[in-house]
Chains A and B, each alone.
Chain A
Amino acid sequence: NAGVTQTPKFRILKIGQSMTLQCAQDMNHNYMYWYRQDPGMGLKLIYYSVGAGITDKGEVPNGYNVSRSTTEDFPLRLELAAPSQTSVYFCASRLDLSRRQFFGPGTRLTVL
C-alpha cells in the first residue's frame, strides 16, 4: 500500500489564484481529513469526510472547499488564495473512529 499520498509537495501561489491540493489513500479508509499547520503551531482541522459523498466543516474551513466523490480521493480546493493560507497542509485518513489516523507527507503552500 502507498498509504496516504499528497500532491504537490510544494507550491507557490499569487494572491487570488486558485488551486487544488490532491489527497489519495489506497487503504479503503472511510474517514479522511484535511489539516493545516501554521509555523510553530499544531494542526487545525479544515474539513473532514466520513465517506464518499459526505463532507463536513472542521475548525477552520473558511476559504476552502472539499469534495469526496470516491472513497480514495479527497481534494482540497482554494478558490481565491490569500497570504493567510500560507501553511503546510496535511491530509489524513483512517478506517473508522476506533482506528489510528495515517498522515500524508504534507504540502507546503506559500501565497505571495
Chain B
Amino acid sequence: AQTVTQSQPEMSVQEAETVTLSCTYDTSESDYYLFWYKQPPSRQMILVIRQEAYKQQNATENRFSVNFQKAAKSFSLKISDSQLGDAAMYFCAYRGLSNTGNQFYFGTGTSLTVIP
C-alpha cells in the first residue's frame, strides 16, 4: 500500500511570515494526485491545494503553493504571509489513478500554530 509521511508533528510561524510543511510518499504508480487538506478545530476537512503528478508545474492557490519533486517523492506546502486563520492541522494525502483510485492515503498531520 502507498504510504504518506509527514515528519513534522508540529510547526509554528510568526504572523505574516512564510512556513513550509513537509510531506513524502511512497508509490510504484507513475500517475497520481497529491493533496493538502486543512483541518481547523471545527474538524471540517478543507481542501487547500491539489497537484497532478503528470504536471511539472507546481500548483498554486493564492498564498498556498507546493514544491512537488516527483523523483524524490516529495510534496511540501508553502504558506506565505501566514494569517491567524491558517492555524490548523494540515494533512498531506495521496490518491492513485489505478483501480485503487478511490483510496486516499493520508499522512499523520502537522499541527500549525500561527503566532501573532
Please report A residues at the B interface, Cβ cutoff 8 Å: 31, 33, 35, 40-45, 48, 50, 56, 58-59, 88, 90, 92, 97, 100-101, 103, 105-106
Q: A42-B4, A101-B104, A106-B44 are in contact. List 9 more A-B contacts (CB 8 A).
A: A33-B102, A42-B91, A42-B93, A42-B109, A45-B102, A59-B1, A59-B103, A101-B47, A103-B44
8 A–B pairs (Cβ distance < 8 Å), ordered by A: A33-B102, A40-B108, A43-B91, A45-B103, A90-B45, A105-B43, A106-B43, A106-B44
Q: How large is the interface on B (under 10, 10 to 19, 20 to 34, 35 or more residues)?
A: 20 to 34
Within 8 A of A (CB), among B47-83: 47, 50
Q: Count chain B CB atoms within 10 A of each CB in A33, A35, A56, A101 and give the residue with the most.
A: A101
Cβ–Cβ contact A31 & B102, under 8 A? yes
Out of A58, A97, A101, A105, name the residue touching B101 (CB < 8 Å): A97
Docked complex Cα distance between A101 and B4 (Å): 18
Out of B43, B102, B104, B109, name the residue touching A88 (CB < 8 Å): B43
* Interface of B (DSSP majority class): loop
Cβ–Cβ contact A41 & B44, under 8 A? no
**Min C-beta distance of A110 to chain B, whole Å:** 15
Instruction: Please name all residues of chain B whose beta carbon is closer than 8 Å to the beta carbon of A31 when the two chains form the complex.
Output: 102
Cβ–Cβ contact A97 & B44, under 8 A? no
Out of B42, B47, B101, B106, name the residue touching A43 (CB < 8 Å): B106
Instruction: Please name all residues of chain A whose beta carbon is closer than 8 Å to the beta carbon of B93 when the two chains form the complex.
Output: 42-43
Instruction: Please name all residues of chain A whose beta carbon is closer than 8 Å to the beta carbon of B107 when the two chains form the complex.
Output: 42
